[in-house]
Structure 1
Amino acid sequence: MTDAAAKPLTPADYDALRATILERKNELPKRLTQVAAYALDNPDEIAFGTAASIALSADVQPSTLVRFAQHFGFDGFSGLQQLFRARLRERTSSYEERLRTLEQDGTARAESTNIFNGFLAAAHRSIDAIGAAVDPDSFERAVTLLARADTIYLIAKRRSYPISSYMAYAFGKLRVSCQLVGTANGMDDDLLAMATPRDAAFAVSFSPYAPESAAQARTLAARDIPVVSLTDSAFSPLAECSREWFEVVEADHAGFRSLSASMAFAMALTVSIAEQRRRA
């Protein structure tokens, strides 16, 4: 076999690259897996960073970035980087451009207004991204799975906790039986021990993943209790144990990430579950 025949087919765009990474993730060496996880978690950084800065953030050598690119058919890292830059150009809307103009106009607006506009722009990017990422069929399967449950266990910690907390509030108003996992008295394991295969769980965790949430989701899945999850990467521990999982990558402003897209997804899921149960 010649070298040309052995060279892997180069992905034509970001979506094709992402699909290829997910398809091969179990075959990747440890360091390439580390780069893959970083790239899918931080696509904007890959688009704008230098090889040196990206390698530092991903905790690998710059040569590892080159090996990663070549593994997927590129001649070098710059070729792969072009896919990430093209992704941003394709997703840029005129509305986003207007918001960026406001954000950068520091002469006519107070600093606090610039911060507000920055977070507004980030929220818009986040919602636009998750709108394109969520597969309608997968969403319908998740709604059906959770709507059939006797009780829905809501698992989240740290930054993710406001999502499950608000879902619990909304489920209460909608008369859907749920249990918020996050007790002040530390009885979470005892609470989860009461779950049966007639129940289901919705888990949320973002990088750096809360080990408690991952362990609780794995425990339920091992007992044949279906888990649906919201996370930010195919390399998340929640993805491995979930019947259905969804990826949301929240854009940041000055290093701060909001929960705009995550909350929108969670409320759509909550109301859809209640509506399906009402029609049943």
Structure 2
Amino acid sequence: MGLKDTLRDRFDGMTATQQKAARFVLEHPNDVVTASMRTVSARVGIPPATLVRFAQLLGFDGWPELKAALVQDMGLGSEPYAHKARSLVDRARDGGGLAGEIFAVHHQNLDATEHANGDALPRAAALLEKARAVHVAGFRACHPVAYSLMYVYRLFRDSVHLLDGMGGSLEMQLRALHKVDAVVVISFSPYSREAIAVARQAREAGCQVLALTDSPASPLALLANEVLLFSTQSPSFFPSIAGAQALSEALLGLLVSRAGKPGIGRIESAEAQLFATGAYLPPAPSP
């Protein structure tokens, strides 16, 4: 029995304060798994010590263990990287077989990602097209996906910006969000705190939020107006971002196809500028 089922099963036998805590966990699981205990305490109006006793009532050592159980209950758990890495050591002499298996799983990730987003991609594109500006955020392993999405989108749309927090500037960058903007946030389990912070700030600013993530129950998905899902399975120790990158490129392809001749004109202009400034090497002369 999962944590949510346990709470529902034992709810009638709880005190009023315990029911208040249980109701918050059931109705706001996203906040419970991403916020600190003190933040939850302030939100629900129950002292931290009481939340610890509530967790212990349910058989946990404390609040962190209750959060971990809720993460598993939401299907967001991830196996520790080091544990998966140890399982690869015995395969050191089987390099070719392991590499082949990784490529095979990448193919499966791409197939799963394609099938998960057929109807959602046009909605995601429409959300971005309606925005005054588009801000893109992805941290750690998701940073290259976010950067490439921003870089390519910027070739045919000027109002695309990267939220990267460079030099500790994330708070400053988030002040630029307006309710007429859209924010794209990319993350997978275990989820980046910065990504969740960006999504929350975007919602508070009234922005439309597009999440690229690995589960419909992820903290990002629960904060988003539209969700695109990618698979992260991998025989290696680290989750695969091949699906996330493919999903980003599929979204960009759809956006440029909908941009029509004006979009093509902006791409031609950007490409000419890249060659003119020397950013790109000139094409080799024909033999």
Q: Secondary structure at the match of 1:114?
A: helix
Are 1:119 and 2:119 an aligned pair? no
Q: Distance in 2 between matches of 1:198 and 1:153?
A: 11
Are 1:128 and 2:165 an aligned pair? no
Aligned residue type for 2:105: A
Cα 1:35/1:259, change in 2 over 3 Å? closer
TM-score (norm 1): 0.60
Q: Distance in 2 between matches of 1:26 and 1:220?
A: 21
Q: Secondary structure at the match of 1:194?
A: coil
The aligned counterpart of 2:38 is: none
Cα 1:27/1:211, change in 2 over 3 Å? closer
Select which of 251, 254, 258 maps to 1:269: 251
Q: Distance in 2 between matches of 1:161 and 1:208?
A: 15
Q: Distance in 2 between matches of 1:193 and 1:154?
A: 14
Q: Could you give the per-residue CA deviations for residues 120-145 of structure 1, whole angstroms, max 9, x where no partner exists?
A: 11101111111222241x22111101
The aligned counterpart of 2:234 is: 252
Listed as ranges, the matches of 1:178-197 within 5 Å are 178-197=160-179
Are 1:220 and 2:193 an aligned pair? no
The aligned counterpart of 2:16 is: none
Cα 1:122/1:35, change in 2 over 3 Å? same
RMSD over aligned Cα, in angstroms?
Answer: 3.0
Q: Distance in 2 between matches of 1:41 and 1:144?
A: 32
Q: Distance in 1 between matches of 2:261 and 2:203?
A: 28
TM-score (norm 2): 0.59
How far is 1:34 from its partner? Answer: 3.9
Q: Distance in 2 between matches of 1:140 and 1:113?
A: 39
How far is 1:279 from its partner? Answer: 6.5
The aligned counterpart of 1:206 is: 188
Q: Is the 8 A contact 1:232 1:249 kept in 2?
A: yes
The aligned counterpart of 2:212 is: 230
Q: Distance in 1 between matches of 2:260 and 2:180?
A: 18
Q: Secondary structure at the match of 1:249?
A: coil
Larger Rg: 2
How far is 1:156 from its partner? Answer: 0.9
Q: Could you give the per-residue CA deviations for residues 7-64 of structure 1, whole angstroms, max 9, x where no partner exists?
A: xxxxxxxxxxxxxxxxxx75999687444323x667xx9xxxxxxxxxxx9xxxxxxx
Q: Distance in 2 between matches of 1:27 and 1:191?
A: 27
Q: Secondary structure at the match of 1:179?
A: strand
Q: Could you give the per-residue CA deviations for residues 120-176 of structure 1, whole angstroms, max 9, x where no partner exists?
A: 11101111111222241x221111010122221001111111100111221122334
Aligned residue type for 1:115: L
Q: Could you give the per-residue CA deviations for residues 70-115 of structure 1, whole angstroms, max 9, x where no partner exists?
A: xxxxxxxxxxxxxxxxxxxxxxxxxxxxxxxxxxxx9xxx743223
Q: Distance in 1 between matches of 2:261 and 2:204?
A: 31
Structure 2, gaps ≥5 residues long: 1-25, 30-57, 59-65, 85-90, 263-287
Cα 1:129/1:253, change in 2 over 3 Å? same
The aligned counterpart of 2:74 is: 37
Q: Is the 8 A contact 2:102 2:235 kept in 1?
A: yes
The aligned counterpart of 1:80 is: none
Q: Is the 8 A contact 2:202 2:209 kept in 1?
A: yes
How far is 1:116 from its partner? Answer: 2.4
Q: Is the 8 A contact 1:202 1:228 kept in 2?
A: yes
Aligned residue type for 1:36: D
Listed as ranges, the matches of 1:80-95 within 5 Å are none
Aligned residue type for 1:191: Q
Percentage of identical aligned residues? 24
Cα 1:37/1:249, change in 2 over 3 Å? farther
Q: How many residues align?
A: 192
Q: Is the 8 A contact 1:167 1:266 kept in 2?
A: yes
Q: Is the 8 A contact 2:110 2:231 kept in 1?
A: no
Q: Distance in 2 between matches of 1:188 and 1:206?
A: 20
Structure 1, gaps ≥5 residues long: 1-24, 46-56, 58-105
Listed as ranges, the matches of 1:12-27 within 5 Å are 26=27
